A and B are shown apart, each in its own frame.
Chain A
């Protein structure tokens, strides 16, 4: 066991080269549809549970980890040190530093990439990247009008002033502001944005329903063959993701009415079945240098090879809100001398079935490849038998900041099981879109 001091000073800056960052394993709690099993669990409760499950799996009790980074998209202002508080409540050593970060749905991905980079640079030897979100225990704010009045009230000195200020309150000020998934610059919800993109790329209802069905079937099969036994720890009576429908059928999905893009008429194709529901959950991934993993007799599933963030101008430009990965992935692969055909697994986050299919359509489109990606033709075709093979967010649900950790741990295990392909380590890609027109993608490689 390395001492806390050794953890933080293992490699003097002068001697540092770039070394490898490995994924040791992961843990998450089953994801729950909002208002369900975790209705009364806070972000801190869930993140602590995810950390404790990880600690139990890898025997990290009282271990001082180099750094823990996690975040939540829907976050109470009192949770400014959410991750550090979760660490203090966990079985980890209290000398483990932690910070919060937030990049919408890409929070977990950014935590993995940022911490991996610190490991690669020798600044830390071990890390835990995570994320949590509760749509059930979401913060509710008072209206902007009431907030201004209350702040004035706080500053008022005399009783008369206070009474005067209180007299400014009007009934409309009393209705609270609940958080929404609306984009501040367009006022459109994420689903409405995607509905436009889905229509733009002419993605059919059937194709979306098929992708949703595959997600449920694949994830249920993975649970049945015990794939998630060392990735998930039950929580509050839930042993599997509550959104998972092993018995879903195309007929059942076809009966659902569109919920987004209803003003598009016949082009309204997005239903509750092919969109992710609001979800509660948390995830954590253990990252390490090779030396640290070896010294702790821990497995090494995969290397974090590279990561890339991207953004599109969804407000003024031609691209849909969730299309940033369509640009980030080609850049990431080009930098690493790879094409889509070189990937053994692709994990494309299913915010909506339409998101995945719009991205694939863009990559197959010659015009898009030439004019937007600057290529000679289309970027390429994804072999669907390599896409989300153990299901993804349509089945598991999508607790925003927790999805990255789920994807990274799942893909790392798949790559480790696959091992070598044609004499080289199996490769996998993760692509996660995020609010604000952003996206974060990463490349992993089997050990």
Chain B
């Protein structure tokens, strides 16, 4: 591109992380007790799933089934830890938990394995969903897993993360949906996801797919794709094999064209708040590709002001772009015959929508609204084998966050278990996971991509 260079996403760790990751900087940080963020291992197609053997803890039918699937994925699986042998991951299968007393043995086994966990290691639990009709001791045991994994995530160092797969009623540990979530958590795609849970709401259907091109043959649309997180989403979906239609407001058209040309997609200049936006996207996708499979609602704006000083313009524009447009477009998509083959909707929410943020009543309203919308849309889509999920990014290094004053930014990016900001690509990887056909049955989730931010869940 001669004239317009797309804003390339920055793949380097921030300067502080770089400084404390080796030599003098590392010694200094250690001696002074300063945060020592690790350089996270990020996904590249063809790279090994994990760095070392996977220890499967648990003695249930489910754990055996999970172990054999991991073997079929070509992983080096251990049912007992070999002391001093570095582990890539630990999978803790707790699918038959009936009482908190049953946690002791498996957790001590995990604890013993922790000192042998490799850098960027993974601890993943698989457990049942807490339901209101559970016996009290079953519910207690199942909910205990939540506390364990969130605490463990805070104990891990060197880029390692702890996350959990939650099985809805009747979903087995080796159900296709559970396995897709497990694979995501194991992989470097989940580098900046820590202390989080994904619910396998339904069994899902097993699909044969190329794990390096999981979106081959799929048609995706990404709104707000001209720059930042949206551009990273478009690049990631294209890398995974999807044909991507990138959408942004006409005023951002030059950056949008650069992204489209980079990923061999098409650019659609469109204000998503116009009534016919959904129809315009469907027409474009149908004419150029004959179908629409994946919708990523990424477009969003902020117009921050304390509520006492909020004017109608700020409030209304944020609601219009961030939530009303999505609701209206989804109606069009759900009614379309072109959006029926394992359709996927993924919305970008925000930690502000979960934990709230001063000066962002409007923004938090829209982003919490997205979460409500996702949960209520899930049953509407499940009839057609579709899923709808949200990702909630925490502090992500973008052109926008680069404008935050240095000190504030430096504090903000350390306020999570991984002690660093995420990359736009981290959000994109989570979205690509939800977009995959293998994630059938993974629906109604709100996945935080925040390195386990200290605020909110």
Q: Please, which residue of chain B has its CB at the minimum distance from the CB of A88?
A: B2
State which of B4, B250, B267, B288 has its C-beta within 8 Å of the C-beta of A239.
B250
State which of A55, A226, A230, A239 has its C-beta within 8 Å of the C-beta of B274.
A226
Residue among A90, A228, A229 having the largest count of chain B Cβ atoms under 10 Å:
A229
* Interface 1/0 per residue, B1-43 and A, CB below 8 Å: 1111000000000000000000000000000000000000000
Contacting pair A59 B3 (CB below 8 A): no
Q: A52-B3, A56-B260, A297-B287 are in contact. Are A232 and B253 (CB under 8 A)?
A: yes
Contacting pair A233 B288 (CB below 8 A): no
Contacting pair A297 B289 (CB below 8 A): yes
Query: Is residue B257 within 8 Å, beta carbon to beta carbon, of the partner chain?
Result: yes
Query: Is residue B269 within 8 Å, beta carbon to beta carbon, of the partner chain?
Result: yes
Query: Is residue B115 within 8 Å, beta carbon to beta carbon, of the partner chain?
Result: no
Query: Is residue B135 within 8 Å, beta carbon to beta carbon, of the partner chain?
Result: no
Query: Is residue B217 within 8 Å, beta carbon to beta carbon, of the partner chain?
Result: no
Cβ–Cβ < 8 Å partners of B290 in chain A: 297
Contacting pair A232 B3 (CB below 8 A): no
Shortest Cβ gap from B202 to chain A (Å): 34
Cβ–Cβ < 8 Å partners of A55 in chain B: 257, 261
Contacting pair A49 B265 (CB below 8 A): no
Contacting pair A57 B250 (CB below 8 A): no
Query: Is residue A250 within 8 Å, beta carbon to beta carbon, of the partner chain?
Result: no
Cβ–Cβ < 8 Å partners of B251 in chain A: 234, 239
Q: Please, which residue of chain A has its CB at the minimum distance from the CB of B256?
A: A56
Cβ–Cβ < 8 Å partners of B268 in chain A: 230
Interface size counted on chain B using CB atoms at 8 A: 27
State which of B2, B252, B266, B289 has its C-beta within 8 Å of the C-beta of A56.
B266
Residue among A48, A53, A89 having the largest count of chain B Cβ atoms under 10 Å:
A53
Contacting pair A233 B2 (CB below 8 A): no
Q: A48-B3, A91-B1, A299-B287 are in contact. Are A61 and B264 (CB under 8 A)?
A: yes
* Interface 1/0 per residue, A66-105 and B, CB below 8 Å: 0000000000000000000000011100000000000000
Interface residues in A25-75 (C-beta closer than 8 Å to B): 41, 44-45, 48-49, 52-53, 55-59, 61-62
Query: Is residue A345 within 8 Å, beta carbon to beta carbon, of the partner chain?
Result: no
Cβ–Cβ < 8 Å partners of B271 in chain A: 226, 229
Contacting pair A297 B266 (CB below 8 A): no
Query: Is residue B116 within 8 Å, beta carbon to beta carbon, of the partner chain?
Result: no
Query: Is residue A375 within 8 Å, beta carbon to beta carbon, of the partner chain?
Result: no
Contacting pair B3 A61 (CB below 8 A): no
Query: Is residue B341 within 8 Å, beta carbon to beta carbon, of the partner chain?
Result: no
Contacting pair A232 B257 (CB below 8 A): no
Q: A56-B267, A89-B2 are in contact. Are A234 and B261 (CB under 8 A)?
A: no
Query: Is residue B410 within 8 Å, beta carbon to beta carbon, of the partner chain?
Result: no
Query: Is residue A352 within 8 Å, beta carbon to beta carbon, of the partner chain?
Result: no
Query: Is residue A272 within 8 Å, beta carbon to beta carbon, of the partner chain?
Result: no
Cβ–Cβ < 8 Å partners of A49 in chain B: 2-4, 254
Contacting pair B269 A45 (CB below 8 A): no
Cβ–Cβ < 8 Å partners of A62 in chain B: 264
State which of B250, B252, B253, B288 has its C-beta within 8 Å of the C-beta of A59.
B288
Given contacts A56-B256, A230-B268, A239-B253, list 14 more A-B pairs with CB under 8 A: A41-B3, A52-B4, A53-B254, A56-B267, A57-B266, A59-B260, A91-B1, A228-B250, A233-B253, A234-B254, A235-B4, A235-B254, A297-B288, A299-B287
Residue positions of A touching B, CB distance < 8 A: 41, 44-45, 48-49, 52-53, 55-59, 61-62, 89-91, 226, 228-230, 232-236, 239, 297-299
- Can you report 26 A-B residue pairs in the complex whose CB atoms are below 8 A from each other? A41-B3, A44-B2, A45-B3, A49-B4, A52-B1, A53-B254, A56-B257, A56-B258, A56-B266, A57-B257, A58-B266, A59-B265, A91-B1, A226-B271, A226-B274, A229-B250, A229-B270, A234-B252, A234-B254, A235-B4, A235-B254, A236-B254, A297-B287, A297-B289, A297-B290, A298-B287
